[in-house]
Amino acid sequence: MSKKTIVVCDHIHQDGLDILANDPEIELINAADEPKDTLIANIIPKADVAITRSSTDVDEAFLAAANKITAVVRAGVGVDNVDIPGSSKQGIVIMNVPTANTIAAVELTMTHLLSCVRKFPYAHNNLKNDRVWRRQDWYGTELKDKKLGIIGFGNIGSRVGKLAKAFEMDVLAYDPYIDPAKASDLDIGYTKKFEDILACDIITIHTPKNSETIGMIDTAEIAKMKDGVILINCARGGLFSEKALLEGLTNGKIAMAGIDVFDKEPATDHPFLDLDNVTVTPHLGANTKESQKNIAIQAAENAIAAAKGISYPNALNLPIKENELPDFVRPYLELVQKIGHLSAQITKTAVKSIKVMASGPVSEHLASMSTFATVGVLTESVGDQINYVNAEFVAKERNIGVSTEAKSSNSGFINKVCVKLTTAEGTISIAGTVFDDTVQRIIEIDDYALDVEPKGTMVFFRNTDTPGVIGDVGKIMAENKLNISDFRLGRDSKGQALAVVRVDGVVTKNILDELSSLDACISVAHASI
């Protein structure tokens, strides 16, 4: 049996290299020190599987050279430097290692939290570098009895909560996508009101980076916080508005901030570095020996499994090849994933069940569509940790029922798919179809018939069907300098209407509040694809 070639493109821990080198069925090429042009031109064409980190982009040039590659393992969580759609077209599975750095990220969060309350880095520098012994300059505060607000209560956020409880803190979690019992089982408070988090003494964030969470803490949110609040971000750059954070740190509203991640990195000339009430680190969330070792071992094991065709752990995509699925099915898989993601963004609450329905020939592929829909739904709450391999497991872990149903074709469409989401607060059903083989359309939302392209930023405005509503909505958009690129309206038999408004730009909380204040408004939400 011929050996499979695994190319390591970037530096990983020696234990991972040893696993690859000691497998008799694997030919290891360690190209971490090779120039990138040499790597792409001469080495990637030999690879069956590649292991990369942030230094190697899986881009057009990489994919063009990847004649034999069946899988790429990203040794870490983030895949910003990976062209996943391009890889999928080429039948290349992209895998990551999402949980190996959990403990490192949790402990770094606690490091920043403790450094902020005791101003440890500044006291250390004052004594060690300045040789000044002035104890009176370094009065801190205690964690005991302080209220810690945790935004995002997943694998990392929940562990931060457990450690904070050990310091006798009063911990409050905000995460609309979890069952509140996950917090209460840890003797941790849970709230559905974001304003409750803003009232805490210390606030830390542990969410995925998406359209809902970018700029989640901005000027308006900081204004509602306590004077002297402490903010921690060891998750993703951009979750806190850096402009608003800088203003709050400068005017004293924010006493201290602990920052490990920045909008643009490396951040060697950032204004935070000029302040004496910020603790900063250069994106060290995964930088422990144990974490790097775990990442390398998991990456090596995943690469070997993929090279041998055994499995594709933590796959972020699926290779869709011409001989595996009929051509007409592929856009429906993409469509149900989009519909699932839209449903989760619109509801923004804990999911109880996901039901995928289909009619027509596409219903023969309900099992695949169920996986894609589940990934779409859970992406909003789980982020990088959800993939096509673990979607069913994660759903079960969260007590989310997933089911399918083939329905008779009586809708007038050759093929029709529908995702019904049941949440803690109700249900939402979104149906769609594909025209001319590739043109995806949403055709129903609950009882409203529509024709909407699932693309871009959309506002979903449900209202009583009275005169003047369209004008009122348009006026609010115009006053907020949001251009309307499409406006679709559906009406039911109960005197209500649903408008789906596609806009160019960012939908802020202020815009949603203005829309909610309209007399005709029943509900308003927004989502992005």
Residues involved in catalysis: 236, 265, 283
Q: How far apart are CA 433 and CA 333, in angstroms?
A: 11
| Contacts (Cβ under 8 Å, ≥6 apart) of 79 | 94, 96, 316, 384
Rounded to whole angstroms, the Cα distance separating 216 from 24 reads 50
Structure tokens at 463: 């209202």
Q: What is d(CA 339, CA 350) in angstroms, rounded to the nearest whole number?
A: 17
- Spell out the residues 6+ positions from residue 167 whose beta carbon is closer than 8 angstroms to its own: 143, 144
List residues bridging with 275 in a β-sheet.
none
Burial class (CB in 10 A: 0-12, 13-18, 19+), 443: buried
Q: CA-CA distance, 154 to 266, in Å (whole number)?
A: 27
Nearest to 283 by CA among 297, 264, 302: 264
Q: Which residues pair with 442 in a beta bridge?
A: 432, 452
Letter for the amino acid at 245?
L
431: its two tokens: 């149906």
**Contact present, 434 and 453 (Cβ < 8 Å):** no
**Any long-range contacts for 391-399 (C-beta under 8 Å, 24+ apart)?**
395/354, 398/178, 398/179, 398/351, 399/179, 399/352
Angstrom distance (rounded) from CA 36 to CA 403: 46
Q: Cα(365)–Cα(406) distance, rounded to whole angstroms?
A: 10
Find the largest Cα–Cα distance for the chain: 82
56, 36 contact by CB (below 8 A): yes
Closest by alpha carbon to 441, among 468, 469, 417?
417
**Token pair of 419, please?**
């995702």
Q: Find how far residue 289's CA is from the centre of its chain.
A: 26
